[in-house]
Every structure is written in C-alpha cells, then in structure tokens.
Structure 1
C-alpha cells in the first residue's frame, strides 16, 4: 500500500492527515487516548508541546548563525501582518457594527481568531516549501499564539504583558539546536532527517486536542469565521511577505491559520476586561470551529501560492545541475518540460 505517497499528494498532507486523524480519535474514541502511560504521553494533546519542542531542536540545528538576523526580520514582518489583520479588521467591525459584530461573530471572536497563528502548521508547511530561516522565524511568530496580540488590538495594552522568561522558554529548544548544529557539522547532518519524521507525530498530538463537535456547536458562524480568517489574514500576510520580506509569499500563507491556543483567548481577555464577558461562550465555540477549518484550508492556499510564485523546494540543487562540470541531460529535459520551474528560475 502506498499510504505515504498518497498522503504526500495532499498539500501539507504529512501535517493535515495526522492532525485530522487525531481530531477524529479525540472526537469519537477519546478514552483510547486517555489510557495513560506512553499511549497518552505520545498520542494525546499532552504530548503536543514536547513533540513541537523536539522539532524545534531539529530545525534549529539546520540554521546557520549568520542567518539569524534574516529569520528575525521575516518573523517580525509576519507578526506585524498578523496584528494588522486581526486588529484592523476587528476595529473596522467594531466601528460599523459595535462589539456584538455581525452574523453572530463578535469583535472578540474575530480578533481572537485572526490575530492568532498555528505555529505547528506553519512549521510543517515551511519545512516542506521553505528553508531553515523560514522555520526559525517561528521564534518571533510564537508571540501570536497567546492572547497578547488580541489584547493589544482591543486596547488592553496597559494590562497585557509577556514575561521575558516565557519568551526564553518558548525559543529555548530552537537555541539549543542552533548551538549544536553550528559547533558540529556532523550533528547538523544527523538531526536533519528528524524534521520530516516528527511532523506527523506532533500533528497527531495537536489534532488530539481538537473536537469536531465544536464545529456543530458553533454552527455556520464558526465555519464562516474560519473562511474569514484565511481570507483576511492570508491576504495581509502574503502581501507583507511578498512586498516587505521580498519572499514568494508561501510563509505568509502558512501563518494565516488560527492557533489552537486562541480557543482560550476570549476567556483570557474577559478576565481582564469584564465588558467582553457576555461574548465569551459563543466566541470560544466559534474560534474552536475556525481552528479546524483553517487547518484544512491553509495547506491548500499555501500550495497554491508556492506553485504560483515559487518556493525553496523549486530551486534545483547544484549537485542536480552539474556532475563533473557537465549538465545532466535528463534534468535539462525535465526543466524544459516544466514551465513552472523555468519561470521560477528566471
């Protein structure tokens, strides 16, 4: 059976398929994931943070220190794009419709969803289409996973703060990987295969924290919020990635999904500002539904952008172009037969 080959035909398949399988198990057979021991530690949402952390060690080992400033730049630009998308659209909705929003979507729900980002999905997609620098940009993008950007967008800047040690803890595994990969080239080569291997593992664990029933409880408004998130966030992030970062745009598309952590954002905001409390229940269900919808849609959007504007995986390696100083005839024919590759290289 060609299971892996089939999965790889799906955009972001090694991330999306395990994630959906995890969500399926958590929705219909949650008791299996709660058996305890190694089963729960690896296959439930309890293992998600550990597995993502390990993946950051592998990813960091591939990043050259000289590439760090570029990673910070790319991440900062995409973070700003997320803030503008979520805060700007939320502000617009508030001015036109008031805090209650429109079509059952409150300003709290809209901002909590659009201003967040799915770091695990971003990691999987840019690992497939991008380079180590794209992945390292996650160290900055991690800021959007919590309620911080939402609080800023709602005017709660005086009450919101991110402890410095929390930021250090978030990027710690990445730093460890960078150090190991830079002091020993053999370690870099040893850890490189682990990036692709661990993606399905943490994807399943992330999916095990999702319940499909949340989509039903949120109704059409939650599904609509998911499409709205991809449309608004995707447009702004792709625009910033292409015209400020001067990149093809696939990283901007990859960061347009809603974060699983954003499900808790409405409640976190209401703890600080009681005025939002009446909207928390509906917003929480709607954001949870949007998380599932965006996890399905964003890989296809990213694949489309990568195909249209190019990606790192489209660039032929030197070893593919030359053997002993001579071009390989088979590859020359292949490149001629593929207009997409020719367009990207030109």
Structure 2
C-alpha cells in the first residue's frame, strides 16, 4: 500500500492529514486519546509543546550563519518583507477590532500565518525557476518556521503578556540547534531529517485539540485568511524582491504561501499567554485551510511571474533553445 505517497500528494499532507484524523477522533471520541501513559503523552494535544520544542531545535541545526552575501541579502529582504506585512496587518486589526480579529479570523491566526511561508514549496519552486543563490536564501528564511517571529510580534507589540524570560525560553532550542549545526556539519547532517519527522506528530497533537463543529462554525474564515497570506503577505514580498533586491519577483511570489509549520504556532503562543487559548482551535483550522489553498495557487502564480518578468532557469532554457536552433540552421546550410 502506498499510503505515505498518497498523503504526500495532498498539499501539506504530512501535517494536514494527521491533524484531520486526530480532529475526527477528538470530535467523536474525545476520551480515546486520554487513556493515559505513553498514548496520551504522544498522541494527545498535551504533546504539542514537546514536539514543537524538538522541531525548533532541528530547525536551528539547519540555520547556516556563513552564507554568501547575495543569498543573505535575498533571503533577508524576503523574510523581512513578509514578516512586516503580517505583523503590521495583525497589529492594526488588533487595535481596530480587538484580538478576536475581523470576519472570523483572529489576530492570533493572522500574525501566525501571514508572517510565515512554506519553505518546502519555496525550495521546490526555486529548483524549477531560480538559481543557487535563491536556494541558499532559504537558510535565512528558515527563521519563518516555528513560533519565534509570531511570539516576538505579540511580545513587542504588547498584544500578549509574554515575559522576556518566556520569549527567551521559547527560542533556546533554536539557539542550541543553531550553535551545534554551525560548530559541526555532522550535527546538521544528523538532524537534517528532524523537521520533517516531527511534522506529522505536531499535526496529530494539534488535531487532538480541535473539534470539527468549531471549524464548521468558523465557516469561510479559512479562505479569508488564505487571501490575506497570498495578497498582503505575498504582495509585500514581491515588492521587496522587485524594488530592493532588484529581482524579477518570482522568488517573492514563491513565499506567498502559508507554512505548514505555522499550524503549530497558535498553540505555542497560547502556552505562553493563556488568554489566547480560546482562539487556538479556530486559528489552527484556519491556518490549515490557508496552507492547502495557497499551496495550490502559488505554483501557477510563480510560473506566470517567471514567464512574464523572467527567471534564471527559463532564461537558460531559452538560451539553450536558441543555440540548438542556430546549430540546426547551420547544419541545413551546409552544402
């Protein structure tokens, strides 16, 4: 049976499918995951904090401090552009409408999702349209993954009561991983699969805290959140890519997505500030919907951007085609 390959065909499937399965169990048999011992420790929503902490450590081991200046510049501009878009949008909505947000989308969901991007999708698209520097830029944008930027936004803006020590404690696994990964490349290689391994466990743990009836009540809010991620977050990333990086914009378009890893962010923030706990279930479901929607619409959008404004891979293909045509023409003229 090709169960895993089937799951992988679903956008964000390795997180979304376990999440939906756990939510199904929690909706109709909520006590099944609360029988105690290792079952509850691994498969209930109480496992979220531990697994997210592990994922942060694994992400840290993949962060490379020494990267080529151009790759750092490209990645930093994309990272900051999308982060600012999500942070400003969330803060403005919080000030105008409160933490409950607008149109059923909470500030927790907005800041958690719009500030991030699907790194796996970006790498896949850059492999098709970009160059080596675009690929290397992902090492900088790995900071998008996990709850760090969202926690920082909530803490600095005063939207959440996040003590400095709690913020520091949230990033200690990331820092330790980063130190180890840069001190010894063998650590980076050893833990390189850690992020992907934790994804289904995070998805299941988060799903164990979701009730489908609350998702139904959320209604069209997942589509609205996806639009915010794609239009506002992606739009700012494209502007940064075009006007600061002086690039065609295809790389900015490639991060106009919601990251599967940010599905865990609402729960992580609620662990630090309990006042956001009531929004976790709806925000998690909305982000999961945004992940799927943006994963579907971003690839054709990047293709259109690349064809309209250019990209290294397409330009190389055209050049190779022109050379081939020239050679064929010369062969035809030989008497």
The TM-score, its normalising length taken from structure 1, stands at 0.66
Aligned residue runs from structure 1 range 129-144, under 5 A: 129-130=122-123, 131-138=138-145, 142-144=148-150
Shift of the 65–243 alpha-carbon distance from structure 1 to 2, 3 Å rule, reads same
1:229 to partner: Cα distance: 1.9
1:112 aligns with 2:119: no
Q: Cα–Cα, structure 1 residues 185 and 42, in superposed 2: closer, same or farther, change >3 Å?
A: same
Within 5 Å, give how 1:116-127 maps onto structure 2.
Answer: 116-118=111-113, 125-127=118-120
Deviation at 1:167? 2.1
Alpha-carbon distance, 1:109 to partner: 5.2
Which residue in the other structure is 2:228 paired with? 232
SS in 2 for 1:254: coil
C-alpha distance after superposition, 1:284-323 (max 9, x if no partner): 57x744531431242331343144326xxxxxxxxxxxxx
Aligned residue among 252, 255, 258 for 1:254: 258
- Partner of 2:293 in structure 1? 300
Q: Hey, what's the Cα distance between the residues in 2 that align with 1:235 and 1:25?
A: 34
RMSD: 4.1
Instruction: Please list the CA deviations of residues 97-150 of structure 1 after superposition, one character each: whole Å capped at 9, or x if unmatched.
Output: xx69xxxx875954525533159x958x324544333222347x634259928x
CA distance in 2, matches of 1:266, 1:187: 33
Structure 2 counterpart SS, 1:192: coil
- Tell me the CA shift for residue 166 of structure 1: 2.0
- Residue matched to 2:36: 36
What is the CA-CA distance between 1:24 and the residue it aligns to? 1.3
Alignment partner of 1:148 out of 148, 154, 161: 154
Query: Given the superposition, is the C-alpha separation of residues 113 and 226 from structure 1 closer, same or farther in structure 2, using an over 3 Å criterion?
Result: farther
Contact 1:238-1:251 within 8 A present in 2 as well: yes
Asked if 1 retains the 8 angstrom alpha-carbon contact of 2:34 and 2:44, the reply is yes
The SS at the match of 1:65 is coil
Deviations along 1:5-46, whole A, 9 cap, x unmatched? 111111111121111112112212221211111111111111
Q: Displacement, 1:239?
A: 1.1
Q: Aligned partners of 1:9, 1:172: CA distance in 2, in Å?
A: 34
Asked whether the 8 Å contact 2:72–2:140 carries over to 1, the reply is no
After TM superposition, the structure 1 = structure 2 runs for residues 162-177 of structure 1, keeping only pairs within 5 Å, are 162-177=162-177
In structure 1, C-alpha distance between the alignment counterparts of 2:35 and 2:154, rounded to whole Å: 35
Q: What CA distance in whole angstroms lies between the structure 1 residues aligned with 2:144 and 2:101?
A: 31
CA distance in 1, matches of 2:215, 2:314: 41
CA distance in structure 2 between the partners assigned to 1:21 and 1:204 by the alignment: 7
**Could you give the per-residue CA deviations for residues 69-104 of structure 1, whole angstroms, max 9, x where no partner exists?**
76666544333211333344567xx5xxxx69xxxx
> Gaps (5+ residues) in structure 1?
270-279, 311-339
What is the CA distance between 1:212 and its match in structure 2?
0.8
For structure 2, the 5+ residue unaligned runs are 124-137, 246-250, 304-310, 318-335
**3-state DSSP of counterpart to 2:111:** coil
Q: Say whether 1:85 aligns with 2:89.
A: yes
* Whole-angstrom distance in 2 between the partners of 1:78 and 1:166: 25
* 1:23 is aligned to 2:26: no
CA distance in 2, matches of 1:146, 1:31: 35
Kept in 2, the 8 Å contact 1:61–1:179? The answer is yes
Give the TM-score normalised by structure 2. 0.68
Q: Is the 8 A contact 2:12 2:292 kept in 1?
A: yes
What per-residue deviation string (whole Å, max 9, x for no partner) do you get for residues 199-250 of structure 1? 112111121121112134x3xxx21222222212431111122222553333
